[in-house]
């Protein structure tokens, strides 16, 4: 199960933070590291700070976009200190997040996403996520180093995994309730946008309408079966539109 939990670092500037994050992961049994456009990798500083976690670095994947890093994931949690204008479902406490992550990771990949050291995640990157999580800290100085943030969330996930294992109880989610992957949800968003354009519902002065509707469906968190029903509904509407 822990092998289905992926740590994604976006445009990390200091290679030492990559090594320190790898070390934080390994202490909590996590091994899947994906790097989105790191400034320097591989790098001696990353190797030095990884200490005994060189295997995590050796197996790390480097990709060119956050989409590529998470498209097969059924849950993508963005670590962010700030709420955005179109907020996704938000975990105020990391331990609340961890139990959902463990549940979803039982059957499919999930990702915890961390942004740049100075500026975090962009709005577009937040939109690639299904959820946000914040780490409660001193309101007068709530600044965490990247690897510290990785360590805290990795610890919470490992703790939830241990509790589930010790209790010996495992809730079996019905197959029809399985969340869609980000790739499947992306296909739905493209289908919805195309239909709104073809029907004349979406016009240039109201360009944010598409974004708002996509955020609405993201908050609704439909299952794969429900998303398939929605796509079937869109396809039925599409047949009644004039040919382009």
Residue appearing with tokens 């029907």: 199
The answer to the question of residue 161 being in a domain is yes
96 with 208, same domain? no
Q: Shortest CA distance to 145 belongs to which of 125, 120, 165?
A: 120
Query: Who's near 211: CB < 8 A, 6+ residues apart?
Result: 86, 127
Side-chain-side CA neighbours of residue 192 (13 Å): 21
Residue appearing with tokens 């509904």: 233
Tell me the CATH number at 183.
Answer: 1.10.8.590
What does the pLDDT read at residue 84?
Answer: 57
Helices (H), the chain: 15-27, 44-50, 54-58, 66-70, 94-105, 123-127, 146-167, 182-199, 208-220, 224-238
What does the pLDDT read at residue 98?
Answer: 95
Residue appearing with tokens 């996403």: 113
The answer to the question of residue 244 being in a domain is no
The answer to the question of residue 52 being in a domain is yes
Average pLDDT over residues 194-203: 80
Is residue 74 within 8 A of residue 109, CB to CB? The reply is yes
157 with 194, same domain? no
What does the pLDDT read at residue 59?
Answer: 97
The answer to the question of residue 243 being in a domain is no
Residue 58 scores a pLDDT above 90: yes
Q: Shortest CA distance to 7 belongs to which of 155, 112, 94?
A: 112
Q: Considering 148, 167, 186, which residue would you say is the last residue of a domain?
A: 167
155 with 205, same domain? no
Residue 218 scores a pLDDT above 50: yes
DSSP tag of 86: S
Q: Considering 117, 151, 167, which residue would you say is the last residue of a domain?
A: 167
Q: Please give the mean pLDDT across all residues of the chain.
A: 87
Q: Shortest CA distance to 147 belongs to which of 18, 59, 38, 51?
A: 18
138 with 31, same domain? yes
52 with 100, same domain? yes
Q: Considering 114, 132, 167, which residue would you say is the last residue of a domain?
A: 167
46 with 151, same domain? yes
Instruction: Give per-residue burial for 44-70: e unless 16+ CB within 10 Å, then b.
Output: ebbbebbeebeebbeebeeeeebeebb
144 with 194, same domain? no
Tell me the CATH number at 63.
Answer: 3.40.1280.10
pLDDT, one tens digit per residue, over 112-166 is 999 999 889 998 898 889 999 999 988 888 788 999 999 999 999 999 999 886 6
123 with 6, same domain? yes
Element (H, E) at 89: none
pTM across the whole model: 0.78
Question: pLDDT over 70 for what percent of the chain?
Answer: 89
CA distance 24 to 2: 14
The answer to the question of residue 9 being in a domain is yes
The answer to the question of residue 196 being in a domain is yes
Residue appearing with tokens 């001696």: 44
Domain that holds residue 188: 175-238
CA distance 214 to 161: 32
140 with 81, same domain? yes
């Amino acid at each position: 199960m822990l092998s289905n939990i992926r740590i994604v670092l976006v445009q990390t500037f200091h290679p030492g933070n990559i090594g320190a994050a790898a070390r934080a992961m390994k202490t909590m049994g996590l091994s899947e590291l994906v790097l989105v456009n790191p400034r320097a990798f591989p790098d001696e500083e990353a190797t030095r700070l990884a200490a005994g976690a060189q295997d995590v670095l050796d197996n790390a994947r480097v990709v060119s976009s956050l989409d590529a890093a998470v498209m097969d994931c059924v849950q993508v949690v963005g670590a962010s200190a700030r709420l955005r204008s179109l907020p996704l479902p938000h975990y105020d406490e990391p331990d609340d997040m961890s139990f959902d992550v463990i549940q979803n990771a039982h059957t499919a990949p999930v990702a915890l996403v961390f942004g740049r050291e100075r500026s975090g995640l962009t709005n577009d990157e937040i939109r690639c996520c299904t959820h946000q999580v914040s780490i409660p800290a001193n309101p007068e100085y709530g600044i965490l180093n990247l690897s510290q943030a990785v360590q805290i969330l990795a610890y919470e996930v490992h703790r939830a995994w241990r509790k589930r294992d010790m209790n010996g109880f495992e809730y079996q989610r019905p197959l029809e309730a399985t969340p869609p992957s980000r790739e499947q949800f992306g296909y739905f968003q493209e289908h919805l946008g195309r239909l709104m354009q073809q029907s004349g519902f979406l016009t240039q002065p109201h360009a944010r309408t598409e974004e708002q509707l996509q955020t609405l469906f993201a908050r609704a968190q439909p299952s794969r079966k429900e998303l398939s029903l929605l796509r079937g509904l869109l396809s039925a509407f599409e047949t009644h539109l004039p040919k382009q």
